[in-house]
Structure 1
Amino acid sequence: MKALIAGAGRLGTQIAQVLAAARNDVTLVDIDDGRIAELAGHLAVRLVEGDACEPALLEHAGAHTTDLVIAATGNDEDNLVISHLAKRQFAVPRVAARVNDVENTWLFDQRWGVDAAVPAAMPLISLIEEATGATDTVALMRLSKAGVDVIETAITPQSRAAGRTLAEITLPAGSVIATVIREGQPTVPSPQVRLQPGDELLVVSHAATEQEIHAAFQ
């Protein structure tokens, strides 16, 4: 699947990471050139700097040949404009849009080209399933073709892993940490990384259950 995500904030970046991990062709767009520079070299996706509300930018980013557009900016008006352009001008088969203000939910429908309206507070796994409309492909971030799962877990102040380094964490057999997301920024999971409350981890495993992964950190 070819996906274009507008908005490289925490949510857009996480979605891009998961879709890329599932071997999709992902392009991530953001108007902030500083944010794009921060992500360069950290994500296995194509990064494009510019305003996704501009048709020329969407065309440059590949909207004509994209299977999925996700408007994930922090501005509802921008997300509606991006969705409308994606559906009406570029005929993108599936368009999903983040709803930042619940009072605006009624706007996010087919009139604006939105196939799936996704509340910003929705859990990441559920959000990706809803946005892609393909639970057989991304259900619970399950990479069925590769025979592995990508499982998300978060560190809270109560987590026993809080304050410990990755080297001190014992994972179930056949499991590895793919990335640690801290303040929206993916980091290389070196053994010296010390986990903090608020950290989110993506763990790849071909044998362990979601409960076993959570138990290693919680």
Structure 2
Amino acid sequence: MKVLIVGAGRLGTQIAQVLAARNEVTVVERDDTRVSELRGVLRAHLLPGDACEPGLLERAGVSTSELLVAVTGRDDDNLVISLLAKRRFGVRRVVARVNEAENAWLFDRRWGVDVAVPATTPLISLVEEATGATDTVALLRLSRAGVEVMETTITAGSRAAGQALGEVTLPAGTIVATVVRDGRPTAPGPEVRLLPGDELLLVAHEATEQEIHAAFQ
């Protein structure tokens, strides 16, 4: 599936990481510095520029994309991008992030939005909403391999805050696949010290979400 993601902040980067495993992903970001930071880190085609401009969307391949995910930090941008994608380019499925709760009423099919997702929605739920397909379960919960991908966020009140990753006792058959800090994913070693705001993606063979929560929270 061809996916176009607009916005390479923390959330957009995470979604690109997950979807790029089995899809052709392009990410548009207006911040040139952010694009430079992600080159060689994110396995996706990166394109700098303002996606509110139809010409840039065309260069990004919107006309052949099956899914567009607008996750910039500005609701007005997400709405304009969604409207262009649906009305001008006929993208089959458009998902848009709602940053400010008072703007939620605008995010509907009149603006080209198929699925409106509040900013507080967890990553996995957002990707499931975005793809709208049952095979998303195969992407995030790898049932054939008997493993599951889970997410947890370190807060100031988390028991793991300030600890090195190697000091955290993980459930059997569980590994930390990545730590996302300030929107940048890293392959963590045991010496990495966990900080409030860190988001962890874990691959588990038998552990439950409750066990993962107990280990970090």
Using the size of structure 2 for normalisation, the TM-score is 0.90
Relative to 1, partners in 2 of residues 1:25 and 1:209: Cα closer, same or farther, differing over 3 Å? Answer: farther
Rounded Cα–Cα distance in structure 1 between residues aligned with 2:62 and 2:145: 28
Residue of structure 1 in register with 2:98 after alignment: 99
Relative to 1, partners in 2 of residues 1:170 and 1:48: Cα closer, same or farther, differing over 3 Å? Answer: same
Residue identity (%): 71
Rounded Cα–Cα distance in structure 2 between residues aligned with 1:140 and 1:27: 18
Residue of structure 2 in register with 1:80 after alignment: 79
Equivalent pair of 1:178/1:204 in contact (CA under 8 Å) = yes
Q: Are 2:204 and 1:184 equivalent residues in the alignment?
A: no
Q: Residue 24 of structure 1: CA displacement?
A: 2.5
Equivalent pair of 1:6/1:52 in contact (CA under 8 Å) = yes
Residue of structure 2 in register with 1:199 after alignment: 198
Residue of structure 2 in register with 1:15 after alignment: 15
Give me the CA root mean square deviation.
2.0
Rounded Cα–Cα distance in structure 1 between residues aligned with 2:100 and 2:167: 40
**Greater mean deviation of Cα atoms: 5-14 or 164-173:** 164-173
Instruction: Tell me which amino acid in the other structure corresponds to 1:2.
Output: K
Rounded Cα–Cα distance in structure 1 between residues aligned with 2:156 and 2:101: 28
Rounded Cα–Cα distance in structure 2 between residues aligned with 1:211 and 1:140: 21
Summarize deviations over 1:131-189 as a string: whole Å, max 9, x none.
22235514893233554311001112232222111222232333221111112222221
Rounded Cα–Cα distance in structure 2 between residues aligned with 1:146 and 1:51: 40
Relative to 1, partners in 2 of residues 1:145 and 1:31: Cα closer, same or farther, differing over 3 Å? Answer: farther
Matches within 5 A, 1:102-117: 102-117=101-116
Rounded Cα–Cα distance in structure 2 between residues aligned with 1:196 and 1:95: 34
* Secondary structure of 2:20 counterpart: helix
Summarize deviations over 1:2-22 as a string: whole Å, max 9, x none.
21110111221122222234x
Matches within 5 A, 1:40-59: 40-59=39-58
Number of corresponding residues = 217
Q: Are 2:129 and 1:130 equivalent residues in the alignment?
A: yes
Residue of structure 2 in register with 1:168 after alignment: 167
Residue of structure 1 in register with 2:216 after alignment: 217
* Secondary structure of 2:121 counterpart: coil
**Gap regions ≥5 residues in structure 2:** none
Instruction: Tell me which amino acid in the other structure corresponds to 2:187.
Output: V
Q: Residue 85 of structure 1: CA displacement?
A: 1.4
**Greater mean deviation of Cα atoms: 140-149 or 157-166:** 140-149
Instruction: Tell me which amino acid in the other structure corresponds to 1:15.
Output: I
**Gap regions ≥5 residues in structure 1:** none
Equivalent pair of 1:140/1:151 in contact (CA under 8 Å) = no
Equivalent pair of 1:69/1:92 in contact (CA under 8 Å) = yes
Equivalent pair of 1:9/1:73 in contact (CA under 8 Å) = yes
* Secondary structure of 1:98 counterpart: strand
Residue of structure 2 in register with 1:4 after alignment: 4
Instruction: Tell me which amino acid in the other structure corresponds to 1:209.
Output: T
Q: Residue 26 of structure 1: CA displacement?
A: 1.9
Relative to 1, partners in 2 of residues 1:179 and 1:110: Cα closer, same or farther, differing over 3 Å? Answer: same
